[in-house]
Amino acid sequence: MQLTKHAHACVTLEKDGTRLVIDPGTLTPDAAEAVARAHAVLITHEHFDHFDEKLVTAALEARPGLQVYGTTAVAATLGSHGGRVHAVAAGDTLSVGSLTATVHGHRHALIHADIPCPDNVGYLLDDGAVYHPGDAYFAPDAPVHTLLLPTSGPWTKLGEAADYVRTVKPERIIQIHELMLSDLGQRSTAHLLGEQGLTGTPIDRLQPGTTVQL
């Protein structure tokens, strides 16, 4: 499987000609281009930096074969589009072409008691090859080879991130959800959470547009 990192929380995963895009939000400049080449879009939750409603709606209208998976709130926002929009929850399994994903987790991480937490699901692809948790530090009850680790945002805490990595025990970390950190902040975070830091696990800082083999 190949992974292409886009800005913020968005990634493209490709295997044997099947392409999935996860979390094309409004903070990802090339989200429309990524979605235009995808067979399916997976959305972890409804926040704008993960879910560009106008973009995904336009893609559904333009491409009769496109499938979209997301929480109940995401599905309700988009509408059915002839049964091509699917509400998913923890315990579900979905298959698109050569790729299979299992769904994990329930809720967005807490920002503050005064701010409601929407539903949030994570996607574990290809028998544990890669896990995208959305905005939560939920550990799936399954092996994870590559963990996409959120490192910035109003809900993130580096201590919790370190404990999360220790719980998941991935072989590799790729930093996502990084736009609220400066370059110095990203380097400092990678050092703290990486192989020489609290987790002992290699962490990759990929520039948008970079493709790696998983």
Other beta carbons within 10 angstroms of residue 134's beta carbon come to 30
Q: Phi, psi (5° rounding) for residue 51?
A: -140, 105
Nearest of 204, 128, 195, 123 to residue 162 by alpha carbon: 195
Instruction: Please compute the mean of the pLDDT values over residues 114-124 and round it to a whole number.
Output: 97
* Token pair for 208: 């948008």
| Per-residue confidence (pLDDT) for residue 112, from 0 to 100 | 96
| Per-residue confidence (pLDDT) for residue 123, from 0 to 100 | 98
| Per-residue confidence (pLDDT) for residue 213, from 0 to 100 | 96
* Upper half-sphere CA count for residue 29 (Cβ side, 13 Å): 4
- In angstroms, the CA 75 to CA 73 distance is 5
Question: How sure is the predictor about 196, in pLDDT bands with cuts at 50, 70 and 90?
Answer: very high
Question: pLDDT for 139-192, tens place per residue?
Answer: 999 999 999 999 999 999 999 999 999 999 999 999 999 999 999 999 999 999
Question: How sure is the predictor about 111, in pLDDT bands with cuts at 50, 70 and 90?
Answer: very high
- Model's pTM, two decimal places? 0.97
Sign, CA torsion 92/132/165/106: negative
